[in-house]
């Protein structure tokens, strides 16, 4: 009787799949490569959604400053596209979790992506609220200290949205921390707008409706700053594996420098993958 020799430990174990000889090592590499491609595609889609949200914020503020009713209406209509993208990305994250069962930094990436998508969708909702206020304000003169402060706040918040998307694309945790620190300034400006508007209402009662809309727009900008702050925290979580919610920002640099997670697989904060060209809209 001829006994088939057992494969040497150093030799690859081969199987048969639909008549083809498959090297298990090659199969594992293929699965790993496909997983990497899934994660890369997921990040690109998130950044594409982020680009759409950033454009929504910019257009809502332009509609506010120019009194452009048509542009304000377009922002409100386009919010449905962002809502659909949120659903698609949520489903993609759940698929990856179910089929790939990621661990360590890959799991952090998927979990943080789920949270980021939610905050991006809410930024889009706030942009819609600003556009609704812009449509109501389109028939009046938008000058004075309240509206000057409002436009300055809008420029700062728009810059924060753009910067946090860059930090997410490059997984740059330290840049994310620097962006998060700006949120306190946004809160302070919102309070000043609220106080100025309240004082103006007492002096000019006829201006109450327009000043209320300015206050609502300011509130939406303050909320956008909060959502940007949240995304900054998710970037830190992806890179370092640390949940920094409710932490003092002044303590983060020291904590992250001395207690970095060791199970990373390439999330070193130095990725040079900027936001890709837009994917087809959903």
- What DSSP assignment string belongs to 31-72? HHHHHHHHHHHHHHHHHHHHHHHHHHHHHHHHHHHHT-HHHH
What integer pLDDT is reported at residue 38 of this predicted model? 85
- Tell the residue number behind the tokens 């002096």, with chain if given: 203
**Phi then psi dihedrals of residue 22, to 5 deg:** -120, 125
Residue 255 pLDDT: 54
**In terms of Cα–Cα distance, which of 141, 150, 176 is closest to 252?**
176
* pLDDT value for 35: 77
> What's the pTM?
0.79
Check: CB of residue 150 under 8 Å from CB of residue 197.
Answer: no
User: In this structure, are residues 185 and 229 in contact, taking their beta carbons and an 8 Å threshold?
Assistant: no
Give per-10-residue mean pLDDT for the chain (282 aa). Answer: 46 39 45 79 94 97 93 94 96 90 88 96 97 88 82 97 96 93 96 94 90 95 97 93 72 56 42 36 34
Angle of the 173-180 helix axis to the 145-170 helix axis, nearest 10: 160
H/E run at residue 133: helix 104-137
Burial 73-97, CB ≥16 within 10 A → b, else e:
ebbbebbeebeebbeebeebbeebe
Give the span between the Cα atoms of 231 and 164, in whole angstroms: 7
CATH numbers and ranges of domains, the chain? 27-258 (1.20.58.220)
Instruction: With beta carbons less than 8 A apart as the criterion, state whether 64 and 123 touch.
Output: no
CB 104 within 8 A of CB 264: yes
Contact by Cβ (8 Å): 128, 75 = yes
């Amino acid at each position: 009787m001829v006994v088939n020799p057992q494969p040497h430990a150093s030799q690859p174990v081969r199987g048969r799949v639909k008549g083809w000889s498959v090297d298990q090592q090659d199969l594992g590499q293929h699965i790993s490569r496909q997983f990497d491609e899934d994660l890369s595609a997921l990040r690109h889609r998130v950044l594409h959604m982020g680009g759409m949200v950033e454009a929504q914020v910019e257009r809502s503020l332009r509609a506010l400053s120019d009194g452009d009713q048509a542009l304000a209406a377009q922002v409100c209509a386009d919010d449905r596209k962002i809502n659909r993208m949120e659903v698609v990305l949520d489903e993609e994250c759940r698929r990856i979790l179910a089929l790939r069962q990621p661990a360590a930094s890959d799991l952090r990436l998927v979990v943080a992506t789920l949270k980021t998508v939610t905050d991006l969708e809410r930024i889009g909702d706030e942009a819609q609220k600003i556009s609704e206020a812009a449509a109501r304000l389109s028939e009046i003169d938008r000058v004075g200290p309240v509206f000057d402060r409002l436009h300055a706040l809008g420029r700062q918040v728009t810059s924060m949205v753009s910067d946090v998307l860059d930090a997410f694309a490059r997984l740059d945790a330290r840049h994310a921390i620097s962006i998060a620190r700006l949120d306190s300034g946004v809160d302070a400006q919102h309070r000043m707008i609220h106080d100025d508007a309240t004082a103006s209402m007492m002096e000019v009662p006829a201006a109450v409706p327009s000043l209320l809309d300015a206050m609502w727009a300011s509130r939406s900008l303050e909320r956008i700053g909060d959502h940007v702050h949240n995304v900054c925290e998710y970037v830190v979580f992806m890179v370092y594996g640390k949940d920094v919610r409710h932490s003092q920002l002044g303590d983060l640099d020291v904590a992250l420098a001395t207690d970095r997670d060791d199970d990373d697989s390439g999330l070193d904060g130095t990725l040079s993958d900027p936001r890709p060209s837009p994917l087809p809209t959903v």
